[in-house]
Amino acid sequence: MSYFDAASSAPLHPVARQALLASLDEGWADPARLYREGRRARLLLDAAREAAAEAVGCRPDELVFTPSGTHAVHTGIAGALAGRRRVGDHLIVSAVEHSSVLHSAEAHESGGGSVTRIPVLRTGAVEAAAYERGLRADTALACLQSANHEVGTEQPVAAVADACRAAGVPLLVDAAQSLPWRPVEGDWSLLTGSAHKWGGPSGVGLLAVRKGVRFAPGGPADEREAGRSPGYENIPAIVASAAALRAVRAEAAAEAARLRELTERIRARVPKLVPDVEVVGDPVRRLPGVVTFSCLYVDGETLLHELDRAGFSVSSGSSCTSSTLTPSHVLKAMGVLSEGNVRVSLPAGTPAEEVERFLDVLPGVVAAVRETLGASAGASGAAATGAGAAGTGAAGTGAAGAPAGGGDGLVVDALGRRCPIPVIELAKAIGDVPVGGTVRVLADDEAARLDIPAWCEMRGQEYVGEEPADRGSAYLVRRVS
């Protein structure tokens, strides 16, 4: 089995395993006590804090350990906002932040605060100038991830930090994805991370707050972790996490170059091996081990199951792998195709042979999924007749090919159908109208709002726009060629 989902959680590093087992014997006592066992536990905790602070690039007394990366984000945002409440209640986040940041922003907004969400380019990157324009006199905090968790795009943290510093606004950086590779550049104010992203045990996060940053911890006072993360420290897990971070950093330069070559191989070859694929994310400014692509005419959940059966564990931002049936907020913000989305995130040590086997298996898996959905004609660009499109579609969209009111083109009725059916039926119907003619797709699947424009861009057709309908929406497409 090939595990290709390190961006979700990296396998436990061998050094972390050794440190965890050793500290279970040595670090079980209360580090706040003065007797021998307590002093031994305190030495282990202090050494772990120093190692983590060195990797982060901060002072040991600026860093605390938390029960998770999400807890670190929530604590960091709430504490910074509370510490600067006299300045104002305005928060800035990017549209592609991790859900922990966006949930904090929603909670802040529901409590009466104001939030500005900075849009991103099609690569998934923000523009530093957009953050600078978003800064206001009442801005209490800005947040920006160092690298995106779904597409691997690295963000211009240093430039945004400079703009925030000039405005006197602290910047919180979610560095969960990039910390295994290097310290975060720039004059940031707060930083968070999560140990299971770099091969430490789960249940350990870190929060760094620079000296001079106004910070007001919420909740009842607690004497542990500077009052910022209440509760008894899990010393064995903390020690193992710090050991893993130090170990992966020692290997980072060589491993980054090797993984970057492997993901570049995937980026270059997948579009040649599989028709109608969009590789997403910045091609240059990206994490070494992450590559993401989306396949037209593919049910994302089925694709992931079939890849799992073939021996590959991958992730997806497709709406059809989500219980909410909405596309990933990251892909949506980027304006890229969401259906049939696959994220490959290679853990350290991935052999090149496993990547080659993935490239050998993927085309057949995608073709089989498309065949199951009746998408062969759509995927190849062949056009079915109006009646055929209605009768052979996987969902049996009975109104496909029916003239629209006023005789202005074809209507594809995909109401009640989930991705990728609306796009499959559009692909089948587009050949039934003359060049310059239109197809109106009726759909109530949220993913259609993203995938139909993305299909038009990929296939060289004109996306005219979205119109209200009695149910769902009508998406108008004009045939260009």
Taking Cα atoms as reference points, which of 107, 48, 35, 47 lies closest to residue 78? 107
Q: Which residues contact 469 (CB under 8 A, 6 or more apart)?
A: 442
Residue type, 476: L
Burial class (CB in 10 A: 0-12, 13-18, 19+), 181: buried
Q: Can 320 be counted among the known catalytic residues?
A: yes
- 3-state SS class at 279: strand
Instruction: Give me the catalytic one of 58, 320, 419, 456.
Output: 320
Tell me how far apart the alpha carbons of residues 429 and 362 are, in angstroms, rounded to a whole number. Answer: 27
Degrees to nearest 5, angle at CA 274 with 302 and 398: 55
DSSP structure string for 341-410: EEEEEPPTT--HHHHHHHHHHHHHHHHHHHHHTT-HHHHHT----HHHHHHHSTT--TTTTEEPGGG-SE
Strand extents, DSSP E, 195-313: 205-209, 277-280, 290-295, 312-313
Distance CA 3, CA 199 (A): 13
Amino acid sitting at position 408: D
Backbone phi, psi, residue 444, to 5°: -120, 15
Residue 237: its H or E element? helix 235-273
Label the pairing between strands 90-94 and 2-3. unpaired
Give catalytic residues, as residue numbers: 320
